[in-house]
Chains A and B, each alone.
Chain A
Amino acid sequence: MAIARARIKSVGAAQSPLLGAAMFTPAVLYILLLVAGPFSLAFLYAFSDARIGNTEMHYVGLENFRSILKSPSFRMAIRNSFIFTICSQIVVIVGANILAIALEKTFRGRGFIRFLILLPWVAPIALGAIGWKWILDSIYSVISWVLVALHFYKPFNAPMWLGEPHLAIASVLLVHSWRLMPFSTVLLLAGRTAIPKDIPEAAAVDGAGFWRTQFQIIIPMMRPILSVAVLFGLIFTFTDMTVVYILTAGGPFDSTQTLPSLAFAMGIQGSDLAAGAAISLFLVPLLIIIAYFMLRVAHRAEVN
């Protein structure tokens, strides 16, 4: 009786509007101060002549957008942002699925392998990117050192992983995929373990093979989880500047420049706050569209 009364009390407290508001306030404040505030500022700057060294600014309409559209670096940055985002997501989703299938099985040392796979996600991205920079370095690259030691290349002619545009693009893709794969793997693994065992078993009894079970039963059932993994992956990659900034600084000659790294270079380093803001605003409609479609897919899957 006493327990029942306590439960009723606690439910009542949970339904109290004051408590609800109090619990909701930190999230609202966080969004207002750290998301809505900077976003509004970026919007304001993008239509102004704001410079880092000036305290005043004036409305200039679409001038900043017209100006950056003329910049070849900007056009390259748009192209690269899409390449890095789409290609890395393909690699991540395929790789994470394979890993999730492998890690679903029980085997000796599975816990340790799971720990190892999670490491890139746990470590700060800047640290990981610095590690990769040294691995791919023009002088001290361990990969090049091995290739030279194995006589695949002469000492001064080893591949320059960050010096050739196509290799540099591949390197950035590799690091993005390396970073995001653990997160997607964990999500997909959780999705797989949530599927009742009798469904794939029934499919097996009906004669469905491995591929058919995966593509016609498991993956469709995991669509909401997959959507979340892709959504997060797209947003993380599209808005990330750390990997490019540390690994290539946008080079060689802008061939790995992305919208966030260019916005930083022009807006902060180049002091042209308005141009930087205009570049960063180009991300917004794209991200809204991506988020809308992904959430719609997730919602449909939930309803079904």
Chain B
Amino acid sequence: MAKKKQEGRSRRDFIRWTGSGALALGAASGPFFLFPERAAAQQKTLKILQWSHFVPAYDTWFDGTFCKQWGQKNNTNVIIDHINLVDLSAKAASEASAQKGHDLFMLLSPPAAYEKQTIDMTHVYQEVEKKHGKKIDLGHKSTYNPKTKRYFAFSDSYVPDPGNWHKDWWADAGFPNGPDTWEDLRIGAKKIRDKSGHPCGLGLSQELDTSMAMRALLWSFGAAEQDEAGNVTLNSKETIEALKYMKALYQESETPEVFTWTPPSNNQAMLAGRVSFVANAISITRQAEREHLPIESKIMVSRALRGPVRRIAAEHVMDCYIIWDFAENKEGGQQFLIDYIDAFHDGFVAGQFYNFPCFPSTVPDLKKEIASDPRATPPDKYKVLGDVLDWATNVGYPGYGSAAIDEAFKAWVIPTMFAKVARGDETPENAAKAADEEYKRIFARWK
């Protein structure tokens, strides 16, 4: 036994030594070893939820660079969750119902319905405007409630919604610079469809891209869902003209596939070399560049199409950050947004010009930067987006993005109205009247 003890160490020795070592280490590291919660109390936590960006490089920068640095600087553990854009509404609803969730929640459309559960963002806007000047009207109208005079959200950026067209086919059809007006689109798309069979890809489905494209068509013809004061104005002769136009475009140049589409469908159709024109953000061309697809150099980008009344299109998506009333780190969320705008230019570059700034001074040379992009073929492909603020507007134009507008948007009233007329299931007059009544029903519920 004695021999055994001399040769090695007993278990009792082992426990004694390791125990002493642990105590010594604990003493050296101060009271946090024994009371870890005190250490945690020193560091705050900021929980952020936002979409999985269409340009993955943006998320890499946001998570890996900006949030990391901001967290270190502010002694905050920043937790970022990304989810699919179509799940954002349901997730926001569940957090609001549970009164628990993330501190900062980013939605892609004006979340006016949540106003009573979010903090007023006036302070954040004021702080940002001190440094970066006034926000654009699009940002204001998407996050402000004129009745309560509160900013229910904060918008850092918006995404333009240009046209995407196939260079060769449009050149063959006599439009080497692509369609510039809705009339060009109708004439050129028909020529292409007749000659090569390739249909036009303007969606008529219950989804985001269709909703934006159909609103652009309505506004270009002088129609609107509501007036500036928020009264429903859908049943108008301008709406009927826009409906007649879409019916003609569909019957001459489209196929029923446009009724089936989800948000990525027009990207897929364009990249598969199937359709001649779609209305979408620059995610299509960015994907082609990223994956080095041969079609990349064939897809061009155009400004919003001009209609009989004006050239106009909706933003494709609108970044709207809210801070819940029940958020645990409201101050951190506000400071994060203020600091995020300081770094917006880096995000603009990382996102490959996908998100345009709501505070134009953060990207002072925007026109110059987008006019020469080495990733694109030709490098000046995105130059046409330089005057985007002249033609981009908010959902709910000429009014505000209210809760009623948001519900009507998500009930897909506008795409349904256009689709029924395009298929010939409803006359333009009856469809406009029915949609107007549905809008009035929804608006009455939010009064």
Closest to A162 in B: B260
The residue from B96, B265, B403, B423 contacting A139, defined by CB atoms under 8 A apart: B265
Question: Contact: B445 with A67, CB < 8 Å?
Answer: yes
Contacts of A137 in B (CB 8 A): 260
Known: A139-B272, A253-B206. A71 touches B114 (CB 8 A): no
Question: Contact: A251 with B410, CB < 8 Å?
Answer: no
Question: Contact: B205 with A252, CB < 8 Å?
Answer: yes
Stretch of B176-184, B341-349, B434-442 at the chain-chain interface: B434-442
Binary A-proximity of B90-130 (CB < 8 A = 1, otherwise 0):
10110011010000000000010111110000000000000
Stretch of B61-69, B223-231, B240-248, B251-259 at the chain-chain interface: B251-259
The residue from A52, A252, A266 contacting B419, defined by CB atoms under 8 A apart: A252
Q: How near does chain B come to A243, taking the closest CB pair, in angstroms?
A: 15
Which residues of chain A from 4 to 49 have any CB-CB distance to chain B below 8 Å in the complex?
Answer: 49
Binary B-proximity of A159-184 (CB < 8 A = 1, otherwise 0):
01111100010000000000000000
Is A85's beta carbon under 8 Å from chain B?
no
Number of A-B contacts (CB under 8 A): 132
Contacts of A213 in B (CB 8 A): none
A250 to B437 Cα, complex, angstroms: 20
Contacts of A269 in B (CB 8 A): 89-90, 93, 410
Question: Contact: A253 with B415, CB < 8 Å?
Answer: yes
Is A81's beta carbon under 8 Å from chain B?
no
Q: How near does chain B come to A272, taking the closest CB pair, in angstroms?
A: 6
A139, A156, A253, most chain B CB atoms within 10 A: A253
Known: A52-B113, A155-B197, A272-B445. A252 touches B434 (CB 8 A): no
The residue from B96, B206, B207 contacting A53, defined by CB atoms under 8 A apart: B96
Is B198's beta carbon under 8 Å from chain A?
yes
B260, B262, B434, most chain A CB atoms within 10 A: B260
The prevalent SS among residues of B at the interface is helix
Binary B-proximity of A240-255 (CB < 8 A = 1, otherwise 0):
0000000011111110
A140 to B437 Cα, complex, angstroms: 38
Which residues of chain B from 391 to 447 have any CB-CB distance to chain A below 8 Å in the complex?
Answer: 403, 406-407, 410-412, 415-416, 419-420, 423, 425, 434, 437-438, 441-442, 444-445
Question: Contact: A156 with B438, CB < 8 Å?
Answer: no
Question: Contact: B441 with A157, CB < 8 Å?
Answer: no
Question: Contact: A252 with B259, CB < 8 Å?
Answer: yes
Question: Contact: A138 with B260, CB < 8 Å?
Answer: yes
Question: Contact: A154 with B206, CB < 8 Å?
Answer: no
Is B72's beta carbon under 8 Å from chain A?
no
Question: Contact: A52 with B96, CB < 8 Å?
Answer: yes
Is A275's beta carbon under 8 Å from chain B?
yes
Known: A53-B115, A53-B117, A156-B198. A252 touches B407 (CB 8 A): no
The residue from B256, B265, B437 contacting A252, defined by CB atoms under 8 A apart: B256
A302 to B183 Cα, complex, angstroms: 71
The residue from A139, A266, A271 contacting B257, defined by CB atoms under 8 A apart: A139
Question: Contact: B255 with A254, CB < 8 Å?
Answer: no
B114, B115, B256, most chain A CB atoms within 10 A: B256
Known: A163-B257, A268-B89. A253 touches B410 (CB 8 A): no
A51, A72, A271, most chain B CB atoms within 10 A: A271
Is A55's beta carbon under 8 Å from chain B?
yes
A167 to B38 Cα, complex, angstroms: 63
B-side interface residues toward A, CB under 8 Å?
89-90, 92-93, 96-97, 99, 111, 113-117, 197-199, 204-207, 255-262, 265, 268-269, 272, 274, 403, 406-407, 410-412, 415-416, 419-420, 423, 425, 434, 437-438, 441-442, 444-445
A-B contact pairs, 15 of them (CB 8 A): A52-B92, A52-B97, A53-B115, A55-B117, A67-B445, A163-B256, A249-B206, A251-B260, A252-B259, A252-B260, A253-B415, A253-B416, A254-B416, A265-B410, A271-B403
- Known contacts A251-B419, A252-B419; 17 additional CB pairs below 8 A are A52-B113, A53-B111, A53-B113, A70-B437, A72-B438, A139-B269, A155-B197, A156-B255, A156-B274, A163-B258, A251-B206, A265-B412, A269-B90, A271-B113, A271-B114, A271-B407, A272-B407
